[in-house]
Chain A
């Protein structure tokens, strides 16, 4: 997958690039201003653009329309410190596919990129396969060895998050934020997530899956598929 990161903050841009290229095996370019971003989008074909709105030479919102007019199949995820509702709505109205507020988790960004990619390229009708597992992201259903597996909403969300971030350490906080959004702000303990993951692991083991979910003590979890 080829990603363009448009972000004027050098360190942040490099972190994202580093994470996406070295850890998620994607191809990633960085543009630190609007001009460079426009140039790059004309030269190369990207699958997804991660776009900061506040750029030194203009508003990122202008770029959205330009890109979407020519290439509606490019996913655009806005990343901004300005989480005013207006900006979010403007961005989404102009054709952006998702919105993330700074500061964000890299694993969350990764999950959003995948989700946007799937939605645009396959109209959401993707089947994720891993060994004996088959996940229909449209119906949000899972089959193990062709047998339907009943999961709660949270369990499904956790599993999907794991699958898009395989073999990566995921912190409890990032998992909580992924499944609960702003509600995770109220977290005092992550006990409840522990029980969700325990249940998920048990359900998968019962269906004959290997023990994918490893606990990284004190930090979170890792979905090991290799």
Chain B
């Protein structure tokens, strides 16, 4: 539910409730006022009846007049008017109507009488009905007016808020060139919201920048010490009087240093992608690049007796050549390395803007959510750094390429949708 619907609904409900209660009270008051008026009229009529009682009643029978009934009685009743609502048959209209009745005991000429005076409430009922009708139509108009007024006022007062919201929505920390500019609003709360938001974003941006720089600087600074370790170990290894155990120790140092520097290089690559250092683009044929990569990998493929099947159409895309290289290198490398030790199969297709790389391997699907995470390792290959796919993910994110992993027909399959980067011709 959005803000406007919510307020409109609330205001309308409250207005409806108030109008209903008000209506009931108004109705009751009107009825009360009418009754009082009728009662006053009845009393004045009562006075005129009593005034001319001699002419009206002289017999012992009940006398009926138009609106007055005089009933002789033996009981003596108090001269105290009692009002009653009754229903009587109206001779003219041939219908029952509600009437207000005044009943009073009267003593005249030593005889007791009950005097009943009636007054039709037909006019009053009509009056109340029309008032109610007017009330309801007025309420309806009022609610409608409130509804639209709310809408107009809402749009006016919340405009700045929605502007802020739109700006905030389009914000992407990875695209620093889209700097957020928040205007001051004439409404103080929105101005402070803007200020808070600006402060928050500045903070986030600085943190993000620092974190990126930390990774980049750290991996950069690590290269030289690594080079020193490596060179010292290599020097040590060329010594003439070393025993086997010592040579082994040195070899371990060298291997570990190599692993560390590979990891470091990958981190450096990721931080470079993150800091947008690959902006130049070229139009390249993906099929061609895949072919050349497969050629480069031929040694590995032959060594393990893998078979590789390709089905590729010429697909020209606009991309940074280095990132495309990295992307395909990691994906194809994965397909070759994380495969059977001998006689695996690899299928590469590039058709209709989709690159599909499928390979045999462990007969179990990999956890889809985890494989793109940094340092995710599948237990079958302790030597891999687990960083290749996170580079792949970074590149895909950078170019907004959809990448999906699935495990179908015992094949680990990666599908990349590169149609967004496609260039015609």
Contact = CB atoms under 8 A, between A and B. Distances in A.
Interface of A: 9, 11-12, 15-16, 18-19, 23, 81-85, 101-107, 154, 168-169, 171, 173, 180, 182-183, 185-188, 191-192, 195, 216-220
Contacts of A195: 303
A18 B231 CA distance: 10
Contacts of A84: 272, 277
Interface string B264-285: 0100100010000100000000
B234 A107 contact: yes
Q: Chain B interface residue count: which class?
A: 35 or more
Given A82-B220, A102-B223, A107-B234, A219 B247 contact: yes
8 nearest interchain CB pairs? A192-B303, A15-B231, A81-B223, A103-B227, A102-B227, A103-B226, A102-B223, A186-B333
A12 B227 contact: yes
B232 to A, nearest CB: 6
A105 B257 CA distance: 11
Contacts of B247: 169, 216, 218-219
B346 interface: no
Contacts of A15: 228, 231-232, 234-235
Nearest to A152: B299
Interface stretch (B22-30, B105-113, B248-256, B349-357): B248-256
B255 A173 contact: yes
21 contacts: A15-B232, A19-B238, A83-B265, A103-B223, A103-B226, A103-B227, A104-B230, A105-B230, A105-B234, A171-B237, A183-B297, A183-B333, A187-B383, A188-B337, A188-B381, A188-B383, A191-B303, A195-B303, A216-B247, A218-B247, A220-B251
A49 B87 CA distance: 124
Contacts of A23: 235, 238
Contacts, number: 105
Given A171-B251, A183-B300, A218-B251, 16 more contacts: A9-B224, A12-B227, A15-B228, A19-B234, A23-B235, A23-B238, A84-B277, A85-B322, A103-B226, A104-B230, A106-B235, A169-B238, A183-B329, A183-B333, A186-B333, A192-B299
Given A102-B223, A219-B247, A188 B384 contact: yes
B226 A168 contact: no
A219 B247 CA distance: 8
Contact of B237 (A102, A104, A219): A219
B13 interface: no
A105 B24 CA distance: 96
B181 to A, nearest CB: 32
Contacts of A171: 234, 237, 251, 254
B258 interface: yes
B188 interface: no
A11 B231 CA distance: 9
Contacts of B296: 183
B261 interface: yes
A154 B303 CA distance: 13
A101 B261 CA distance: 11
